[in-house]
Structures are given as C-alpha cells and as structure tokens.
Structure 1
Amino acid sequence: MTAYTERQQGSKLSDFLQTHAHVLSIAAFLLGCCLFFGAINPVFFSTGNLLNLLRQASPTLIVAVAMTFVITTGGIDLSVGSIIALVNAAAALLLRAGWDWWVVSPMMLALGAGIGVFQGYFIAYQKIPAFIVTLAGLSAIRGVALVLTGGFSILIPPSLFLSIGRGTVFGIPNPAILGILVAIAGYIVLNTMVYGRRVCAVGANAEAARRVGMPAQRVICSVYVWSGVLSALAALVVAARLGSGSSNAAVGTELDVIAAVVLGGTSLAGGRGTIVGTVLGALTISVISNGLILAHIDAFFTQIVTGAIILTAIWLNTRIFDHVGSVRRR
C-alpha cells in the first residue's frame, strides 16, 4: 500500500503562475496581438484609434460579463444578440415617437429582464436545456424585432440619449466607462459575494448545491435575468452610438461574447469563471477586428479568426489547463 503524502508546496511564483494560467495566457496573447498590429500599422497605437477600440468593445464586454455568470453555471445564452436587436429597435421607435429617454431606458432594461425571466424559467424550473431555449429565443426575439421595424432602420431624433454612446468624460468614451463599471461590479459579485459563490457552486454540481440548501434553480434563473438586463444595456449603448435602431443590429454578437468568455478562461463545463479573463478576452476580440481592418484585410475575415479562436480556447480548456489542474492536485 502506498502511503499518502501531501503535495509539497512549490514556490510562490510557480503557484501563482499555475493558479492564474488562464488569465496570464490571454494577457500575453492580447499583448502579442497589439504589438503585431502596431508593427503593421502605427495608427493602431494612436489615441484616437485606442479610444475608438474601447468604444466598440464596450457592448461586447457588457454582455460578456453576464455571459460569464451564465457559463459558470454550466449554461449558455445564444439569444443575447437578438435581445440587443429587439431592445435597440424598440428604444428607437419609442424615442422617435417622442418618449423621454429617461423613461425609455429603464423600460428597455425591464424588457431585457423580462426576457431573461421567461427563458430562465424554462431552463431552471422546466429543465429544458439552455441551448434549446436560447436557440429558440435567438430566432423568435429577432423575429419580433423584424415585425416592429419592418426590416427598416429607425432614426433616433437628437437628444441627450445619444450622449450615452457618443459622449466622453475626461476624454474617455461613455460606453467604455459603462463597460468598466459593469466589469468591476461583476468582479466584486463573482469573487466576494455569497451570490457569486453560489453561481460557482451550482456550476460545479447543481444537485450537491441544492442538497446543502442553496436555491440552485433560483440561481440558474437569475443569471439569465442578468444576461437579459446587460444585453438591454448594451443595446442602448449601440443605439446611442449609431443614432438609430435596427432589427439587424448585433448579428453574430453571441459568437463574439462566447469567444471572449471562453478565451478568458471561464470553463464551459461550469464551476469556474473569471471576470478579469473575460475583460481581456473581449479586448482581444476587438483588437483582432480593429487590427485586421487597419491591416486592410476584409472585415469578413474576422469571423474566420473568431471561430478559430473559439476552437483553440476550448482545446486549451480541455487539454492543457485541465492537465495543469490535475498536476496541482497531486
């Protein structure tokens, strides 16, 4: 019989590198992308381009924070792009009809929450797979947006609402500030609050969490509510930045969001999530898109790159980093 021995404690540097392998790897990859695109075109590091990059990345970042919670529970939300399109179009229609922006904005957040409650109920309480529910939402919700707009873009009259997407504070775009605030809030909730620990516990083993008294079903439902709310917030940012609403807005956004979250190190199997990694992942997706455009490469090529990134990230999740985790447990 082999005697049990505790794993010897390694150096602090080694333990730090192993613990934060996911975040460090995406940080290194992001830095490499920035240096590469900066070498191709010096305009990449110009102040104007960097601020524009932050402005464009903010909707993806806002939704990705919510998606981090969803995926940490072991779920998925494919409807976020369609929610953005519906809220985007509905807000534009109401603003064009003369409604005040400070009335429309909370109404749209409530609409996003309502969609999240509806989908979360079927996922958490009716036990229908999240993939199926949100796939149906992806189609049906965008269909509602198409019915509302007739397929046309809806111009938003000039108002203070547009400053949400176009304004700045001390030179920093308002969308970037919103994205940073959402990311900070997500980090605090996931890492320091009871709710965040419950999200991780439910993702690791929902039945075990339920048996120890955690409201597992309520936690699962709640993450889809937050996904709907933050998708609605992202929709308002997009509408204010473009000055219009369209049922064709945010096509493919769910792909970018999932890529950002998975690339950042959140486990698709659930139980492990990282907001810092999600922020770096969202910035990486935006840097690739921005850099390819500055390199005069067809914008549609970014879809191929994004798909390749998702595949690589999943491979790293299931092979390399899981192996590192098993070594640490020995």
Structure 2
Amino acid sequence: MVGVTVLLFAMLGLASPDFLTFANLSNLATQIAPIVIVGVAMTFVITSGQIDLSVGSTIAFVAAISAELLVAGLDSSLVIVLGVLAGAGWGLVNGWLAAYNNIPPFIVTLATMSIIRGVALLRTEGFSVPIDNRLLLAQIGSTDVLGFSIAAWLALVVAVIGAILLNHTRFGQYVTGIGSNEESVRRAGVNTRRVKMFALVLTGAMAGLAGLLIAARLGSGSANSAEAFELTVIAAVVLGGTNLFGGRGTIVGTVIGAVITGAIANGLTLLGMSPFLTPIITGCVLILAIWLNLRGRDIAQLTGHLLGRRE
C-alpha cells in the first residue's frame, strides 16, 4: 500500500501541478483527519470481528447538536466534552445491543444509523446551525500549527495512541484474539462482551470528536453532513490491510488507506472532474480492497512461488 500511495501521488502530481504543493498537502491532511480519527477506532471494531455503520450519523448528530448547544450559550469547552460523550453514548447503545443482546453488529448499527441521523434531522429540521467564529470551537477549525490544521495534528495523535493501544496493550491483544477465535479468548477468562462493547464505544467517541472537528471547519453543524462517511472509513481500514472478518488489524495501514481515499477525492477535484465520481470510485476501491483482502494470501503465495522458480 505504501508503493500504491507513492504511485498515486506521482500520477496525481503529474496530472495536476497543484497537487504536490504544500498548501494542497496541508489541505489534504485536514480533509482526511476525520477519516483517520474514526478509522483508527474502526480498526479495533473490524479487528474484533464487528462492524459499525452508524459513524456517519453519529458525526452528523454531534455536529448539529453541538452547534445548537453553542447557540444556546454553553461554553465551547463543555460542548466539546459533551460532543465526545454523546458519540460514546451512541457507541454504548450499539455495544450493549450487539455484545450483550447477541444482535449482529451489522443489524444494530444499520438500525442506529437511521435512528441517530433521524433524531438530528428532527431536532434541526434539516437546517444547518451556524457557529459564531469568535467561539473556541470555531477557532479550532481555523487555526494552523506549523502549517497544518489542529484537526490534522489530532489525527496524528489519535493514530499514535491507537497503534500503541492495538499492538502493546492487553486490550489490543484481546481485540485481535476475539477476532481470531472468540471462544478461546473467553475460555482464557477474558470478558469478551465487555471488550467488544468498549470497541464500539471507542468508535462512537471518535465519531463524536470527528463531528466536532467537521463542524468547526465548516463553521456550522448540519444533520446532513457525513453522508456515506462509513463507506469511506471502512474502505480506508480494509484497504490498509485490516482483515474484514477480524483477527488482524493495522493502524498504520488504516492511515495509508485514508491517505489513498483522500488523495483520490482531492485529485479529482483539482482535475476539475465531477464530484459525483468520488463515491463511485470509493465504492470500486472498497470492492477491490475486499477482493485483495480475501485473496491477498493466495496472491502472496503465487508471487512467492513464481519468484522461487525464477531463482
């Protein structure tokens, strides 16, 4: 995937002189920040053998409700905390229904995807809620540090913490083990239900954070934001090498997958192509990623066999 990323950047750089400029790369980092933040958490969910389709709706809910709270006069610091907690709350609902009531996560999050966005739409009646640019949350969306947005730096911090958590903690080992063989992990004395629920809570919390960052960048909160966001996140995670059926996950791969999906959308915009091509290409990339995910071992064995014969 690193090779694919380099090749993609080279092709887009040749096609559009503006693509490899610092200004555009900084803009690209800001664009993919929410994908990275939610993708890191989604890596834990998919590695544990689950899925979360409600992240886009959670982002929209937090963005819209946070903007309303700011209009009502609440302090930005409190709204930020409440936004993350609201996302975690929806994740807790998903986790409780999936882990403790044995409802497949696909069905649970498919249902809550509709419910969460529906609540946000009902509350705001579909209108965007503006955020005063003098407030702290709005300033977070417009402030740069060393040429990169605060959202980009937060995405980097989340990715580093996620990598440590997945690769160097018991929780990460439990998540990987549950995805590989949940019964064996349960018999070893691990509360697998709690681990699976916490993975979904983590995804909800990160979706809440992403919702705050998107609202801050746009200067408003909308219940219509982050449409099909879950498709992009899942594409990034699976493209990065996380096994769609659990048991293997990689945070670095997720970041690379986010860069690839973001670069495609960014490059199409710079080339003046229709923005409606983006979801089509993202869907095609997701299919290709799943195919490679399923056939990767066979391809690797075939390549090794051919190289062995040449030697």
Partner of residue 134, structure 1 = 109
Percent of aligned pairs sharing the same letter? 48
From 116, 133, 158, give the equivalent of 2:91.
116
The separation in 2 between residues aligned to 1:63 and 1:244, in whole angstroms, is 20
The separation in 2 between residues aligned to 1:126 and 1:117, in whole angstroms, is 13
Residues matched between the structures, number: 303
Partner of residue 17, structure 2 = 42
Partner of residue 131, structure 2 = 156
Residue 201, structure 1, aligned to residue 209, structure 2: no
Partner of residue 187, structure 1 = 163
From 223, 228, 233, give the equivalent of 1:252.
228
Name the TM-score, length of structure 1 as normaliser: 0.90
CA RMSD, 1 decimal: 1.4
3-state SS of paired residue (2:18): helix
Partner of residue 4, structure 2 = 29
Give 1:117's aligned amino acid. L
From 46, 51, 59, give the equivalent of 2:34.
59
Partner of residue 249, structure 2 = 273
Partner of residue 104, structure 1 = 79
Residue 296, structure 1, aligned to residue 272, structure 2: yes
From 237, 240, 243, give the equivalent of 1:261.
237
The separation in 2 between residues aligned to 1:99 and 1:256, in whole angstroms, is 32
Change in 2 beyond 3 A, CA 1:327/1:139: same
Q: Which runs of 5+ in 2 are unaligned?
A: 305-311
The separation in 1 between residues aligned to 2:291 and 2:276, in whole angstroms, is 24
Moved more, 314-323 or 239-248: 314-323
The separation in 1 between residues aligned to 2:295 and 2:19, in whole angstroms, is 34
From 114, 122, 145, give the equivalent of 2:120.
145
The separation in 2 between residues aligned to 1:326 and 1:231, in whole angstroms, is 39
Q: Which runs of 5+ in 1 are unaligned?
A: 1-25
Residue 282, structure 1, aligned to residue 258, structure 2: yes
Name the TM-score, length of structure 2 as normaliser: 0.95
Deviations 1:15-45 (A, max 9, x none): xxxxxxxxxxx11111111111110111001
Give 1:73's aligned amino acid. S
Residue 221, structure 1, aligned to residue 197, structure 2: yes
C-alpha deviation, 1:148, in angstroms: 1.0
Could you list the runs of 4 or more consecutive aligned residues of structure 1 that deviate by over 2 angstroms after TM superposition?
A: 320-328
Q: Bigger radius of gyration, 1 or 2?
A: 1
C-alpha deviation, 1:321, in angstroms: 2.6
Deviations 1:193-228 (A, max 9, x none): 111001000111111110111111110000000000
